[in-house]
Chain A
Amino acid sequence: MQKTLKKYFLVFTLPTLIAFSLAFVIPFILGVYLSFCKFTTVDNATFNGIQNYINAFSSTSGFISSLGFTVKFVVVAIVTINVFAFCLALLLTKKIKGTNVFRTVFFMPNLIGGIVLGYTWQQMLNAVLLHYEKTLISSPTFGYWGLVLLMNWQMIGYMMIIYIAGLQNVPTDLLEAAKIDGASRSQTLFKVTIPMVMPSITICTFLTLSNSFKLYDQNLALTAGAPSHKTEMVALNIVNSFYGKAGYEGVGQAKALMFFIVVGAVGLLQLVFTRKQEVDQ
């Protein structure tokens, strides 16, 4: 069968491969090359070695500080989102009335796009801060917690759904056995339930990690980096280098490559970790 199918290579793969090459493969390779060039458009690139990388690390480019802000945000976002989502999932598997309605409502924000969501929250938070004669961009602290709040609002429902699926797979006889053995509630939770939903936890951590790390739309809509780039995340910093300043396209490309390496490394670690988990089970 393979033999016959083999001849159909082009029929089965050509359209996808063309689109994939144009949208990803060629731009990626070109991008790696351009990160070592000075250019304003793709056509006028001249090789300039690692100058772009040196410039990317200069204090004025803001790359390092945006990376710092991003990491600070990601850590808090992962913890808060997962803790809240897990608690909600626990509550929603306790046979409460209207579970479906609750689930529907909590999940809904996840479908609203980052731009729309960002402006919705900007309006909300500004309205609250108005009371204290402040605005969202009065201080980077507001922008930071605003972003954490917004991401929690958006992602809790999503993670909750995954945790619910995980919790429903925990065998009831196991829980009952624990009860018979006289385990307290918290013991059951930490010794039985949590180990059993470990795969869900891994998935959710990974999803929150990659979503928060690459965050752009929400950041742009909520504060756009204000005040003074202090709430600027890496993705926004890179886009600003590309389009904000003449002559900095190369620096933007270099930053993008480094960003990719960081994201790739984190993803790889995660993959290794997941594999190990799967083996353990």
Chain B
Amino acid sequence: MASKKSKQKMSAGQWAIFAFLCVLVVVFLYPIAFIFINSFKGKFFISNDPFSLPDGETFVGIDNYINGLTKTGFLGAIGWSFFITIISVALIVFFTSMTAYYITRVKGKLTNGIYFMFAFSMVVPFQMVMFTMVSLADKLKLNNPIGMCFLYLGFGAGLAVFMFSGFVKSIPLEIEEAAMIDGCNPLQNYFGVVFPILKPTAITVAILQAMWVWNDYLLPYLVIGLSTNYKTIPVVVQMLVGSNGNKDMGAMMAMLVLAIVPIVIFYLSCQKYIIEGVVAGAVKG
């Protein structure tokens, strides 16, 4: 489609818009370019001359990256961020779709009540349950990556159930009934018939939840926090900048770059799904 469009001749007005958009692209990318450039400067030069390109005296190569990585355990953080995000999203998609299916198909006071609770939880600000949830998580020994995934299942359930329910409603009952007549029991029916139909919604849910879990700061900070080796990327970035005793601007720039890179790669490779997922999520949520 896009290639077809570009073959068309553009009018002067369209060229003007094109030029304007190009300027805007530069504006949008500038902050990222800014930290990228500065991540190669020595830490004392950054604050003095932030806009220049690194040259002989100020250029320190990848020192900042090495410093940042060794000081903060950033590599570990990348690993834990991946671990927690992938497991949490898998748990959320797997379990909440089942729950959503059940409470949509089986009508009753109980299921209605449950559905209402899930929808309700989306409105509640995190701060409302923050303190009590952290104490509870600590008492139940959930202050580890596995426990975090479990908590994310609980927190993500609201939005996920809500979205899956909306979609399940639109699946015609006939398909399932046919399967039931063939002798499938509900589980077979669900995994054999319903879940494949849910796949597009599952992708949407997965993307929305992945974006949230990956970037989430407060929950991992409070639950597993400083005292363990399971820090995630946002926690490490905040620590590095917040730990003022040995603040290192260069290392900070480098870590910001490293924190952005995986997201950009992920985005560029699954762009289509992400944009579609976000639109679908917004329209339904």
Q: Residues of A with Cβ closer than 8 Å to B? A: 1-2, 4-6, 8-9, 11-13, 15-28, 30-31, 34, 41-42, 88, 91-92, 94-116, 119-121, 123-124, 126-127, 130, 153, 157-158, 161-162, 165, 203-204, 207, 214, 216-217, 220-221, 235, 238-239, 242, 249, 252-253, 255-257, 259-260, 263-264, 267
* Nearest-CB residue, chain A, relative to B5: A95
Given A123-B38, A239-B127, A256-B130, A16 contacting B157 (CB threshold 8 A):
yes
Most buried by B among A16, A91, A104, A113: A16
Task: Check if A239 sits within 8 Å of B130, measured CB to CB.
Answer: yes
Whether A121 contacts B103 in the complex (CB less than 8 A), given A99-B5, A242-B131, comes out as no
> What's the Cα separation between A70 and B105 when bound, in Å?
41
Chain A interface, >50% SS class: helix
The residue on B at minimum CB distance from A149 is B31
Segment touching A, from B55-63, B72-80, B196-204, B257-265: B257-265
Question: 17 A-B contacts, Cβ less than 8 Å apart?
Answer: A18-B154, A22-B137, A23-B153, A23-B155, A24-B158, A26-B132, A27-B136, A31-B128, A94-B17, A95-B8, A113-B217, A113-B234, A116-B234, A130-B47, A162-B282, A220-B217, A259-B125
B residues near A, CB below 8 A?
A: 2, 5-6, 8, 10, 14, 17-18, 20-21, 24-25, 28-32, 34-35, 38, 47, 50-51, 91, 95-96, 98-99, 101-103, 105-107, 114, 117-118, 121, 123-133, 135-137, 140, 142, 150-155, 157-158, 161, 173, 176-177, 180, 185-187, 190, 211, 214-218, 233-234, 237-238, 241, 252-253, 256, 259-260, 263-264, 266-268, 271, 274-275, 278-279, 282-283
**Interface core residue of A13, A42, A153, A249 (most chain B CB under 10 Å):** A13
Given contacts A5-B102, A17-B114, A111-B263, contact A162 B18 (CB under 8 A): no
| B131 and A97 form a contact (CB under 8 A) | no
CB pair A24 B129 closer than 8 Å: yes
Residues of chain A with a CB closer than 8 A to B260's CB: 112, 116, 120
For B154, what are the chain A residues with a Cβ–Cβ distance below 8 Å?
A: 16, 18-24
Is B241 a contact partner of A20 (Cβ separation < 8 A)?
A: no
Give Cα distance in the complex from A91 to B176, angstroms. Answer: 45
Instruction: Determine if A31 and B129 form an interchain contact, defined as CB atoms under 8 angstroms apart.
Output: yes
Contacts of B128 in A (CB 8 A): 28, 31, 256-257, 259-260
Across the A-B interface, the 8 shortest Cβ-Cβ residue pairs: A23-B154, A113-B215, A127-B50, A19-B154, A12-B102, A27-B129, A27-B133, A27-B132
Flag if A16 contacts B256 (CB, 8 Å).
no
In the assembly, what is the distance between CA of A172 and CA of B152, in Å? 44
